[in-house]
Structure 1
Amino acid sequence: MREYPYPRPDDPFGLSPGGFLLWMGRRQLPTLLGGFFFGIVWMLSQAFAPFVIGRALDLGVVGQDFSALLLWTSVFLGLAVVQAITTTVRHRLAVSNWLQAALTTKELIGVKVARGGESVGRAVPTGEIVTAASNDAPRLGQLFDVTARLSGSVISYLVVSVLVAQIHLPLGIAVLIGVPALGALLVFVVRPFQRRQQAQREATGRMTSVGADTVAGLRVLRGIGGERIFVNRYRERSQHARVHGVEVARSVATLEASQLLIGGAFSVFFTFSGAALALDGTITVGELMSLYGFSVFLVAPIRTGSEALNVGIRGIVGARKVSKLLAAAPLVADRGTVAEPTSSSLVDGVTGVTVPPHGLTALVCADPGRSAAVAKRLGRFDDGESRQARWGDEPLTSYPLEAVRRRIVFSQAEAQLFTGSLRTALDPQGRHDDGRIIAALRTAAALDILEAVDEGLDHEVDEKGRSFSGGQRQRLSLARALLSDAEFLLLVEPTSAVDAHTEARIASGLAESRGGRSSATLVTTASPLLLHAMDRVVFLPATGTPLTGTHAGLLDSCPEYRTVVIRSE
């Protein structure tokens, strides 16, 4: 038993759909080749069975030769044993191929989303990402699963053509030409199926996107009474996806019926022709039984080929979606080669805001989105924007990404918590003892949250921290940021969801833990309670250069600053 995930020698990000499928095939080449081998042996053991039965009838029964009957009966028994063994091994390898392809695809999607962040969401809607992981990954697995049976079907079809030709040459030629010709008729069914499959896939992705957006904003929608509007939107998308799903089901039913019709018609023709040849003495009774057995057997390769066509269409559609997702260009590329600075300021080239390498700095602006954008540029989440930010004498993008992430930590206003123990949620890397975690909770005025749960730091956090209120999640997120011990801590509106008393405690805690010359903290806020605790305040006016000073000094000297702060209060 091998544990998943299997090691990945490289990442297939940026490959075409065909290139991605080839990459996947190379990854699991041993099990694919094993599936080919045992699939071929499995099908050949079935293909030779009618031939052996015919020989037993002609030589053993009609010829009344007991030794020949015993010989061919033993051969038939041997074929049955081979078939039983290869069926088990072939199925195991096919399932292994399916799971490897499906789970690797899901793992890659997870890695891409985790690494790419917003770049993935910009290239592919959220619903498409969910659909790719839940629907397309299993379909890619089915594509690799069917390869074992398909390879066996192709080889056995060729072998049966030769065996039939030995009995009657025109019938052998009919088998060699007729089977692929009849299979080609399925193209007229497959083409509309492919179009409908693509339309249904896109409709499902749009429906999932609307559902994800609605669930994410459900609390806000309830606050403004907008649930019904979004429910109606989701209902419309759902009905649209249902209509396309019915069209796909109609194509699937037509395809299944076509398989049965073609296979049955071929079997009837083959059996009738063999019976006519037996009546006029052209072939023997045993050869007639062999022909009948071959006609029954050939239904399996036809159905397998049709199934492979169906699975192939679904797999190619899925590969296109997955490769598009994996090809999403990252917003941040780790190409930095410049040695990281020892103690230097962060400078935003767009606005001119400077964050010294020590003390508490507040950034105030009438537009909170503008000040948050400054913090985000300094946190380097988009190289296109962060190229205008500097760390010391060099652009922020010229430094190794590992150094930036280790020394500069960005904490957004919308707190994101993950499932697991509260201890793990606050200290994901497990670098601190419980005493240090509790100290960070005290700084973030979050000890009451710890006291409210019976298990303490072992409390299991629900998905997205749903069991906590918005203010509690925000304080836990602040404690997590403090535990990073980052040289630069960029906090965006860290107290927007807490009351004034709690905000005052947080301001005092930040001044105590992050003040001095050992670390730097940038807080985007317009709250007077926080601004009083800051070492310096930078104000971004609507026009002109930033103004720097203390909170009290700016209140006296800048009417625009005073208006922003009073309005906030």
Structure 2
Amino acid sequence: MRSFPYPQVGSPDLRSPSRFLWWLAKAQRTTLLLGITYGSLWTLSQGLIPYVLGQAVDFGIVAGNFGALLAWVGLLLALTVIQAVTSTLRHRAAISNWMQAAYRCSQLVGYKVTRSGDALPQRFSTGEVVSTSASDAMRIGEIFDVSARLAGSVVGYLLVTFLVFQTSWQLGLVVLVGVPLCGAMLLFVIRPLQKRQKEQRDAAGKMTALGADTVAGLRVLRGIGGENIFVERYRERSRETQLAGNKVAYSLADLDAAQVLVVGVFSVAFTWIGALQALAGQIETGQLVALYGYAVFLVSPIRNASDAVSRFIRANVGARRIIDVLDTPSAVHDGGPTVDGPASPSVLVDSSSGALILPGLLTGVVSADPAASAALARRLGRFEDAVLRQAQVLWGGAALHCIPLGEVRERIVVSDAEPQLFTGTLREELDPAGRHSDADIMAALDVASAGDVFDGLEHGLDDEVTEKGRGFSGGQRQRLVLARAVLTGAEVLVLIEPTSAVDAHTESRIAAALRTERSEAANTTVVVTASPLMLGAMDTVLFLGSDGLLTEGTHRELLATVADYRTVVIRGAGMDAHASNGSTQNKRNENSISEGQC
């Protein structure tokens, strides 16, 4: 059993589709060379068969020499065995090359998705990225699949040209010039194919994107009765894709017809000239038989060449799409000058808002402008380095964007407001790294008050989670994600609306359990929420406005003294509340280091 792709070496060359394909070729050059070698041997054995057959006729049958006939027949059988063996090996190498290239492209896209932050979703829809990883990657793999046959065809063409020249220089010129000419004639059909395949690829990408977006928002669409509108839009996109596919099919049919016509004309002309020379006594009977075999053989190189060109066009289109994805600047970067993170739990200072996150405490974040609290969570989680260069977050005196990204991701964990679950067992979902015992997992589920999740699970932690956790309710998904976040034991845990989909009784239990769990471990916890139950469990609460920190204190203190806070928390009218006095913004970030420096 082989594991694909093989280890990646170096960074991909994204300057052009051809350079990217060449980089892929170099990354798997060993198996490519094996495929080319086997393909060449396979084609050489095929090309020699007409020659051996002609020799058997002339020196065995016509000459009446049974010994010579037996020898040539034995050589013919040996070539047949070689052809069978090398054909099998060539096919295995070709499939290996195909899978390596396709999976390596999918892997590159996967790495980009996990490391680009929010930069990729801002440029491409989910459906477009999925289509790039699946469809375009497989198209690129095709060109590496055909490489062995193409190399063998070139070698076979050169061999047959040499052998035909030994028989007749006129026929040798026909082969030498005619085969490339036939291939060039097919380019007139291939060029329109390239344009139509690009149109079909673009239409398919738009259709996939619309389908993914519709499925993701299906519950909301049903709630407002909008699913029929989106279904109709999907039908329109599907129809456009179908029409584009029909145009591609027309071009492919034209290409197949052109291949039959061009190759047929060449074969007939070649055989006819050979027959005339045989009638004139210029060549022997066996040589005529060999020439007919060469004519049949040369069909394969011409078709392989046109097939390779067609596949290269598709691969070129796919490579361009993958380059567009890979070339998207990442929102976060791990390189250049770095500084070590704090050796012990330390204060987090957000210079943009003036917020101060003290170590070991539970800090609630409430905002009259929900975008302000969401932006603070993003900065604390280091989601966009460009933002942090302008509005720095200091962690123990060091700029957060200058600390190695791996260390930040290990010590600071952000759990987003939209629960994301993947396929696999529930145990793998909650503990992807497999570092915790079942008892630890159950304890985290208790903190998240998620025990009822097991009521419908036959196999407990070994039960399979469906795609995006659709087998669970919204509240169950949210609590499972909370349990996963708690299980990380992160030094700094940022939770964004962790209980928005649960009832008040469950929320109260979660607030108490979360406080106990995080306080005992002396870890820092930031909870972005407007829930009074959650805020009541916090050690301190930061109240933000659109311009920064307005005030801070305990939940009870702010309820009693800050009318705007009371409006946001009690009435939930955060979008209508306005900060009345921005002058109270905390200025404790004056010791921040100069902008953009590490």
Q: Give the TM-score of the pair, scaled to structure 1.
A: 0.95
Partner of 1:377: 379
1:327 corresponding residue in structure 2: 327
Could you say if the C-alpha distance between residues 368 and 516 of structure 1 is closer, same or farther in structure 2, counting changes exceeding 3 Å?
farther
Instruction: Give the C-alpha shift of residue 13 in structure 1.
Output: 7.1
Equivalent of 2:439 in 429, 435, 444: 435
Q: Residue 13 of structure 2 contacts residue 19 of structure 2 at CA under 8 Å; is this kept in 1?
A: no
| CA distance in structure 2 between the aligned counterparts of 1:422 and 1:53, rounded to whole angstroms | 66
Which residue is equivalent to 2:348?
A: 346
How much does 1:15 deviate? 5.7
1:358 maps onto 2:360 in alignment? yes
Which residue does 1:79 correspond to in 2?
79
Partners of 1:332 and 1:20 in 2: how far apart?
24
**1:453–1:153 distance in 2 versus 1, CA, 3 Å:** closer
Query: Within 1, Cα distance between the matches of 2:459 and 2:74?
Result: 69
The answer to whether the 8 Å contact 1:139/1:311 transfers is: yes
Alignment TM-score, normalising by the size of structure 2: 0.91
Distance 2:522 2:248 in 1: 64
User: Which 10-residue stretch deviates more, 168-177 or 86-95?
Assistant: 86-95
Match of 2:409 in 1: 405
3-state DSSP class of the match of 1:220? helix
2 CA distance for matches of 1:465 and 1:329?
31
Q: Is the 8 A contact 1:359 1:517 kept in 2?
A: no
Matching of residues 474-489 of structure 1 within 5 Å = 474-489=478-493
**Count, aligned residues:** 569
CA distance in 2, matches of 1:144, 1:56: 38
How far 1:30 sits from its partner (Å)?
A: 2.0
Q: What SS is found at the alignment partner of 1:515? A: helix
Tell me, yes or no, if the aligned pair for 2:267 and 2:295 is still in contact at 8 Å: yes
After TM superposition, give the deviation of residue 396 of structure 1 in Å. Answer: 0.7
Give the SS at the match of 2:495: strand
Q: Is the 8 A contact 2:540 2:552 kept in 1?
A: yes
Change (3 A) 1:58 1:513: closer
Q: How does 1:128-207 map to 2 (within 5 A)?
A: 128-207=128-207
- CA displacement at 1:269 relative to structure 2: 0.7
One-letter amino acid matched to 1:412? D
CA contact (8 A) 1:541 1:560 kept: no
For residues 148 and 5 of structure 2, the distance between their equivalents in structure 1, rounded to whole angstroms, comes to 23
Task: Note the C-alpha offset of 1:318.
Answer: 1.5
> Does 1:464 find its partner at 2:468?
yes
Confirm whether residue 555 of structure 1 aligns to residue 556 of structure 2.
Answer: no
Q: Which amino acid aligns with 2:465?
A: V
Deviations 1:84-123 (A, max 9, x none): 2222222222222222222222233223223334333334
Residues 293-326 of structure 1, C-alpha deviations (whole Å, 9 max, x = no match):
2111111111111111111111121122223222
Q: Equivalents in 2 of 1:382, 1:160: separation in Å? A: 61
Residues 1:557 and 1:14: Cα distance change in structure 2 (over 3 Å): farther
SS of the residue corresponding to residue 185 of structure 1 reads: helix
C-alpha separation between the residues in 2 aligned to 1:86 and 1:458? 46
Q: Which moved more, 1:492-501 or 1:287-296?
A: 287-296
| Mapped partners of 1:432, 1:422: distance in 2 | 13
What value does the CA root-mean-square deviation take over the aligned residues? Answer: 2.0
Which residue, out of 543, 546, 564, partners 2:568? 564
Residue of structure 2 in register with 1:41 after alignment: 41
Distance 2:493 2:95 in 1: 49
Q: Provide the rounded CA distance (Å) in 1 between the counterparts of 2:406 and 2:189.
A: 53
User: Mean alpha-carbon deviation: is it higher for 251-260 or for 293-302?
Assistant: 293-302
Contact 2:4/2:99 (8 A) holds in 1: no
Change (3 A) 1:358 1:297: same
Q: Structure 2 stretches of 5 or more lacking a match?
A: 574-598
Matches of 1:510 and 1:77, distance apart in 2: 78
Identity %: 53
Contact 2:361–2:519, Cα closer than 8 Å, also in 1: yes
The one-letter amino acid paired with 1:369 is: A
Q: Report if aligned partners of 2:115, 2:332 keep a CA contact under 8 Å in 1.
A: no
CA gap of 1:420–1:49, structure 2 versus 1, over 3 A, is closer
1:169–1:523 Cα change, 3 Å: same
State the one-letter code of the partner of 1:348.
D
For residues 505-549 of structure 1, what are the alpha-carbon distances to aligned partners after superposition, in whole Å with 9 as ceiling and x for unaligned? 122222222237812211111111122222111111345642111
Aligned-partner Cα distance in 1 for 2:434–2:65? 80
Counterpart of 2:239, as a letter, is Q
- Name stretches of at least 5 consecutive residues in structure 1 with no aligned partner: none
